[in-house]
Amino acid sequence: MAAAYLLPPSLLADSKSKPHLSFPWQPRERIAIASYPFREFIAGESHKSGSPTIELKDFAAHVMAKFNINKIEPWTGHFPSTDAKYLEQFRAAIEKAHGAVVNIAVDGEHSPYAADRAERERAVAFSKKWVDAASVIGSPCIRTNIPPAKDSKPDLERTADSLARVAEYASTENVGVNLENDNPISEEPFFLVKVIEKVGNPWLHALPDFANTLARYDEKHAYDGINAMFEHAYGICHVKDSEADEQGKVVHVDMAKTFGFMKQHGYKGYCSMEWDRPGDPYQGTANLIEQTLHYLS
């Protein structure tokens, strides 16, 4: 399998122990570009009429040309298919671009803590499907989400039970699973930390997002939460310098403080650029790259 340059994170673990990714140390090599900020330009439901159209399989080549970065983090909403034929085409395109996928951002609709067992089963099955996809395209991990349940408040026991099953399955595929502080109801940082600690599986980690919690909670809670998540982070984090809250007010990230948490906890993984506010995602991403290079150097 021609994957020497396709998979710089080369998973060197056996499924019964824990993941051992070989991360690059050069600052630029640690940077990835998320596809989500470019949703108006990527073919799919979110594409904006009149905008140039990029096929997801060509995204790695596109960002290499635009930013001189060869690693990407695709979003599930951009995959036109998950059948074997498309995933092999996607992998071949990444290989041709001399690129690599470092994580898949997985967004589903089913809650892993719903009171309804069938709903929980659907959530687990959805995450497992994307673990399989990650294995095919050479992604070392996925970020699975925790949608709010219609019939329950966030429940630690049920969430941990569901995600323990996902992590156990993922370990057999040599794929890590990450949880992101995104939805303020069910993905609050300290709740995620409790889930990760309760599951206690080395294949389940945190994905700290620099701005999501800051846009929804007070600064102390947000920064304490991001700090707590970096203690459990391993392979991927989302770099943002700002984000608009629900009222449209833009909150600004203290980048020195947040990168300080990263260094304090010895985080060696990838930094995915995820510009997420109104404006040009190309210029916004370029600014994030410049700041990240500064703080990683």
Handedness of CA 8, 208, 90, 284 (dihedral sign): negative
Nearest CA to 215 out of 205, 207, 206, 225 is that of 225
CA 287 – CA 281 distance, rounded (Å): 10
* SS3 assignment, position 261: helix
Which stretches of the chain are DSSP H helices? 59-67, 84-96, 117-137, 156-172, 189-199, 219-230, 255-264, 281-296
Q: Which long-range contacts (CB under 8 A, 24 or more apart) does 53-59 make?
A: 56/80, 56/90, 57/89, 57/90, 57/93, 57/94, 58/93, 58/97, 59/35
* SS3 assignment, position 181: coil
pLDDT (tens digit, 0 to 9) for every residue of the chain, 297 residues total?
Answer: 333 334 444 333 344 588 989 999 999 999 999 999 999 999 888 899 888 899 999 999 999 999 999 999 999 999 999 999 999 999 999 999 999 999 999 999 999 999 999 999 999 999 999 999 999 999 999 999 999 999 999 999 999 999 999 999 999 999 999 999 999 999 999 999 999 999 999 999 999 999 999 999 999 999 999 999 999 999 999 999 999 888 888 999 999 999 999 999 999 999 999 999 888 999 999 999 999 999 999
Predicted confidence at residue 16, as pLDDT, reads 53
Where exactly are the structural domains of the chain? 28-296
Q: What is residue 185's DSSP assignment?
A: T
Compute the chain's Rg from CA coordinates: 18
| pTM, rounded to two decimals | 0.93
* SS3 assignment, position 54: strand
Nearest CA to 180 out of 131, 125, 235, 218 is that of 235
Phi, psi of 145 (to 5 degrees): -100, 170
CA 33 – CA 245 distance, rounded (Å): 22
CA 30 – CA 24 distance, rounded (Å): 6
Q: 174 in the Ramachandran plot: left (φ > 0), alpha (ψ -120 to 50) or beta?
A: left
CA 122 – CA 144 distance, rounded (Å): 13
Q: What is residue 108's DSSP assignment?
A: -
CA distances from 70 to 67, 207, 229, 296 (A): 9, 20, 26, 17
Q: Residue 125 has which token pair?
A: 């099955």
CATH 3.40.640.10 fits 28-296, yes or no: no
CA distances from 271 to 89, 187, 262, 289 (A): 26, 20, 10, 9
Instruction: Tell me if 275 sits within 8 A of 27, measured CB to CB.
Output: no
